[in-house]
């Protein structure tokens, strides 16, 4: 790889990380920072939800710190402990474009980026490659497995491809690999949840 190509890739990755930090929030309960969340707004929606892991918000309320250092009270509106997902609402939704959620499947070896808040370090980024997109009984990916380093504080934060499109919600480490709930599974869960609320 020549120098101009590698420096161009480095600039592109840095720009992607900056965009991802804007949609990554810090979640606090009882004053302690315990994880991350994603400002999740789909096309056509006027507002959105904050998506995180169920293990990050065990109660019904939390404090969310946005990228601009403002804080908002959030309430849990949906939780799935089995899938380790939670959705939170805040009263004043920030002025953000809809989240870009990747529709095409991931390929083994693709670059992925995770954003989180390990050890009080806000907006930390880590880079790795897709190891596998593990299928469930229905043929859909149950987990995105990636060879990247996650630490406590990354839970609930975004996993994105090199272009910044959301591909998953970081959840845990198993062995030496990071596991994320695929973005398609999050979308399907939200549709089911919203249908139940509407009925």
Rounded average pLDDT per 10-residue block, the chain, 199 residues = 67 93 91 85 77 93 90 93 94 79 90 93 94 62 90 95 95 93 92 65
The residues with which 130 forms a beta bridge, in sequence order, are 146
pLDDT of residue 15: 93
* CATH ID of 14-98, from 1.10.10.10, 2.40.10.10, 3.30.390.10, 3.40.50.280: 2.40.10.10
Q: In the prediction, which pLDDT does 2 show?
A: 56
Residues catalogued as catalytic: 55, 84, 155
pLDDT of residue 192: 87
Residue span(s) of the chain under CATH 2.40.10.10 come to 14-98, 111-188
Residue 139: what pLDDT? 52
CATH of domain 111-188: 2.40.10.10
Q: pTM score, two decimals?
A: 0.89
């Amino acid at each position: 790889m020549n120098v101009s190509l590698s420096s161009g890739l480095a600039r592109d990755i840095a720009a992607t990380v900056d965009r991802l930090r804007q949609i990554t929030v810090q979640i606090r309960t009882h004053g302690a920072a315990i994880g991350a969340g994603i400002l999740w707004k789909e096309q056509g929606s006027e507002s959105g939800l904050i998506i995180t892991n169920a293990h990050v918000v065990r109660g019904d309320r939390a404090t969310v710190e946005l990228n601009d250092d403002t804080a908002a009270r959030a309430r849990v509106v949906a939780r799935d402990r089995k899938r380790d997902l939670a959705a939170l609402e805040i009263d004043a939704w920030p002025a953000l474009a809809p989240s870009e959620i990747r529709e095409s499947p991931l390929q083994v070896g693709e670059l992925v980026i995770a954003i989180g808040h390990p050890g009080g370090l806000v907006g930390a980024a880590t880079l790795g490659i897709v190891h596998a997109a593990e299928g469930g009984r229905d043929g859909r990916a149950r987990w995105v497995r990636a060879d990247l380093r996650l630490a406590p504080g990354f839970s609930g934060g975004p996993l994105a491809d090199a272009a910044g499109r959301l591909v998953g919600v970081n959840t845990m480490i198993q062995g030496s690999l990071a596991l994320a709930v695929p973005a398609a599974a999050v979308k399907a869960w939200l549709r089911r949840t919203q249908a139940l609320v509407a009925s």
